[in-house]
Amino acid sequence: MLLAIDMGNTNITLGGYDGDRLVFVSRLYTARSKSSDEYAINLLDIFNLYNVKPTDFTGAILASVVPELTDHIVRAVKCTVGIEPIIVGGKYNGNLKIEILPVSHLGADLIAGSIGAIKKYPLPCLVADLGTATKILAIDKNGLFRGCTISPGVKISLDALAKGTALLPSISFTAPEKAIGENTTECMQSGIVFGTAAMLDGLIKRIKVELGYENVTVVATGGYSPAIIPSCETEIIYDENLLLDGLKAIYEAAGLQ
């Protein structure tokens, strides 16, 4: 089995692949105060929950955007499954084509999302990743990564709004019935949900013009996608496990199966 780990600023997503079958997906909170031993205990608990033995794993891959925790996760994986995971970036990038800067300078999450899209969907393709940050990745018809947009994520925006104002509460990410809110909660939900959806629609339209394509596959991933994508006017495919599938493809491209 392959252990794929996507470590983001908010959550760590783990996937176990038996061949092409995704056996389990689990998530941990990204806690910067945890030690490698504590993460090792978390891993063992997850394996036990899904009836997977540490000895079942023959490979591991890690994409991390939290440098201070990368070594902790590497040690935790080595401690539990006895394998040192390969780390996305530099040598291990799935042979992603990019011209704007060295691929080693590109975030591991952007590499994994791009490779996942290239592997699974018709090109050209845009990937909207709605996590801690909201990102739109642009991949042209030749599989070349052309760049991306980065905006504050849904929760970051909401937290900033609630903390920066005395009377505005925290709310759920639920789309209201209409754009014109009639109470505080509806007003905030309209601004956050419909506002983010409109931003995505607008950026996607601009990117398509800049790329020179009319027909573009648009895929969304990330934890906040289910709350936002239904309010978009753009036709968008939701792919919950895009980054994990990208990690699997990067591992296979490295010839380590």
Active-site amino acid positions: 109
Query: Could you write out the three-class secondary structure of 183-240?
Result: CHHHHHHHHHHHHHHHHHHHHHHHHHHHHCCCCCEEEEECCCHHHHHHHCCCCCEECC
Nearest to 88 by CA among 244, 247, 222: 247
Residue 30 CB neighbours (<10 A) = 18
Nearest to 204 by CA among 219, 190, 223: 219
Q: Can you give the length of the chain in residues?
A: 257
Task: Name the residue with tokens 């608990």.
Answer: 45
Half-sphere exposure of 230 (CA within 13 A, CB side): 8
Q: Which residues contact 154 (CB under 8 A, 6 or more apart)?
A: 130, 134, 173, 192, 196, 224, 227, 228
Report the SS3 class of residue 70. Answer: helix
Half-sphere exposure of 9 (CA within 13 A, CB side): 10
Which residues make beta-bridge pairs with 2? 17, 59
